[in-house]
Amino acid sequence: MREVTSIPISAVKLGEAEERLAMEVIRSGRLAQGPMVERLETAFAQLTHTRHAVAVSSGTVALVAALQGLGIGPGDEVVTTPFTFVATLNAILQVGATARFADVTDEDLTISPAAVEAALTPRTAALLPVHLYGKPARVDVLDEVARAHGLALVEDAAQAPGAAIGGQPVGSFGVGCFSLYATKNVTTGEGGVITTDDDALADRLRVLRNQGMRNRYEYVVPGYNYRLTELQAAIALPQLERLAELDERRRANAEALDQRLAHVTGLRLPSVTPGQRHVFHQYTVRVTPSSPLGRDNLAEALRVQAIDSGIYYPRAVYDYDCYRENPQLVIEPMPVAEQAATQVLSLPVHPSLTLSQVDRIAGAVCTALGVGPPDR
Ligand SMILES: *Cc1c(COP(=O)(O)O)cnc(C)c1O
């Protein structure tokens, strides 16, 4: 019997460059935030074309610190997407602000600028869009909305380092918040980065990150320990250097999946907007009512073939008991997000995927949905 290797939804590939830098840190004896973290910050500022990058201990902390640094707290409303990882919402709650939702567009499941405008109230202090699956949200439009109404714009770019609109990197439209968690496009296990052009904000973030200390034992605000370690920075740096190449492989895999799945009725393939650079953190299809198999049954059919898939996300982010009754949330029906939650299925698209694995994934999807391979 032929051994069938399983295809994971994400894969961490670290090499000699990461080993070399990690060894450099170990030999240096300096483990807490230092020169390697500074190198990572410089690389992130270059990636996002921003003046400042501030490394912190996670993507969630990046969001919390960004909101704190902007002075957002109790009494303020933050307008965000109902279709995201829970960290986006938890960050808003953590700073004491109120979350109000604006539904996503059916086209790409990122927050709808029109819905954002409709959700504004006199208490709105910030907009918090998410670059879902590595596809830019319309932060070019949201930047104009934010400016017109005097609001802060915070981008949850956890899934999208390297993504861009018209050549302008995400994380440079508003305050960029990135994650270096284990499954993200650039990973160091746990970590985060905030990007901004605002000198004063960058300074506040650096102070907040380090117990509110500007100079040694000179405390200017009550702060926190949000610091990243040297070892984590060492592991992330080489990946950042080859990010363009890694993204290229993600995009090539996405294109190969598109070609092999375009003829399948009942599947909606990921939308790509002209002028946008999508970095395919996930390749997410929608299993529509015209599919002979429901989403969960398709996932099960793939699992039997040793192909991992993911449901990001199975519910609208507020649709849990712990949020339903929470006074810090303003919940209204979000029909597009709620429907998407029943349809989305992410297929492997990571850079280590081979073309024969892409064939296997597409073949398994076609078989499960009762269609032949595409004419090629
Ligand atoms: C991963 C993720 C986060 C949180 O990042 P952590 O590093 O895990 O704290 C926030 N928002 C989105 C959309 C994410 O995917």
Q: What is the pTM of this model?
A: 0.97
pLDDT tens digits for 47-81?
Answer: 999 999 999 999 999 999 999 999 999 999 999 99
The residue contributing the CA closest to ligand 1 atom 7 is: 59
Q: What is the pLDDT of residue 4?
A: 74
Cα 295 to Cα 10, 104, 252, 269, 279: the distances in Å are 20, 20, 25, 14, 24
Residue 165 CA to ligand 1 centre (angstroms)? 21
Ligand 1 atom at minimum distance from 180 CA: 7
Ligand 1 atom at minimum distance from 132 CA: 13
Q: At residue 74, what are phi and psi to the nearest 5 degrees? A: -55, 135
Ligand 1 atom at minimum distance from 181 CA: 7
% of the chain exceeding 90 in pLDDT? 95
Residue 190 CA to ligand 1 centre (angstroms)? 10
Angle at 21 between CA 178 and CA 240, to 5 degrees: 30
Please give the residue that has the higher pLDDT: either 374 or 220.
Answer: 220
Instruction: Report whether 270 contacts 283 (CB < 8 A).
Output: yes
pLDDT tens digits for 238-262?
Answer: 999 999 999 999 999 999 999 999 9
Q: Is the pLDDT of residue 376 over 60?
A: no
Q: What is the pLDDT of residue 1?
A: 52
Instruction: Report whether 240 contacts 184 (CB < 8 A).
Output: no
Q: What is the pLDDT of residue 175?
A: 98
Q: What is the DSSP string of 325-342?
A: T-TTEE----HHHHHHHH
DSSP E strands: which ranges in 161-208?
164-165, 168-169, 175-179, 192-196
Residue 231 CA to ligand 1 centre (angstroms)? 20
% of the chain exceeding 70 in pLDDT? 98
pLDDT tens digits for 218-234?
Answer: 999 999 999 999 999 99
Residue 54 CA to ligand 1 centre (angstroms)? 16
pLDDT tens digits for 279-334?
Answer: 999 999 999 999 999 999 999 999 999 999 999 999 999 999 999 999 999 999 99
Residue 333 CA to ligand 1 centre (angstroms)? 24
